A and B are shown apart, each in its own frame.
Chain A
Amino acid sequence: MIKLSKADYEKILAHAEKELPNEACGLIAGTSDGNDKIIHKVYLLTNTDHSNEHFSLDPREQLSAVKDMRANGWIPLGNWHSHPESPSRPSEEDKRLAYDSKASYIILSLMDSNNPVINSFHIENGISEKENLIITE
């Protein structure tokens, strides 16, 4: 189970919409107790690919985010990115580049602009499994 506040969901959504037509991306950090994760902060990073089909996190911003997490006593929980034109599920490239089996991979689909869809996935050995993503008030 992974919990994301409604405010942080809206932060992701607003950033993803602002970055259209390109993919948007960032990091998530918080606390973890076994398989239960609580996201305390969402980081909005630059997609250095500036593409509607690919994303890469900016390493310099990643470094700043990691330091901020540490200063706040949080741990890295994974990352998030948007799919402007495809469903909320990991693509083959997403699975190929998912190196951390402990991470959660959140994907926001804007394919239907009136009905954004967000899901979180566990990816290991190229196999993805949907996590129980709970958006809290």
Chain B
Amino acid sequence: MNITVSGVKKEVSDGLTVEQLIVSEKVETPQYVTVTINDEFVESGSFKNTVLKDGDAVEFLYFMGGGQ
């Protein structure tokens, strides 16, 4: 199936989960990454069970914060 990851179209295997995509995309510091599918935020506890569908658009957003 075909999905879009961070604006780039990719062919991936059917049944791919968000958790597997994070691994295959070599996402750094995955514990601090927020994921959206078609602009909907995915709870981090659901990465393992969220299966991607053909045509999905996935974004990885890295937590940014700090303090003085």
Contacts and interface: CB of A to CB of B under 8 A. Distances in A.
Q: Do A and B originate from a single complex?
A: yes
30 contacts: A23-B67, A23-B68, A54-B67, A54-B68, A55-B65, A55-B67, A56-B64, A57-B63, A57-B65, A59-B34, A59-B41, A62-B61, A62-B64, A63-B39, A63-B59, A63-B61, A66-B59, A81-B66, A83-B68, A84-B68, A91-B67, A94-B66, A94-B68, A97-B63, A97-B64, A97-B65, A97-B66, A99-B32, A99-B63, A100-B28
A26 B62 CA distance: 13
B36 to A, nearest CB: 6
A86 interface: yes
B48 to A, nearest CB: 20
A49 B65 contact: yes
Q: Shortest 7 CB-CB distances between A and B: which pairs?
A: A94-B66, A56-B65, A93-B67, A54-B67, A83-B68, A86-B68, A57-B64
B29 interface: yes
Interface residues of A, number: 32
A30 interface: no
B7 interface: yes
A79 B36 contact: no
Interface string B7-36: 100000000000000000000110010101
A94 B67 contact: yes
Nearest to A92: B67
Interface centre among B28, B67, B68 (most CB of A within 10 A): B68
Nearest to A86: B68
A42 interface: no
B33 to A, nearest CB: 9
A55 B59 CA distance: 22
Nearest to B65: A56
A93 B34 CA distance: 20
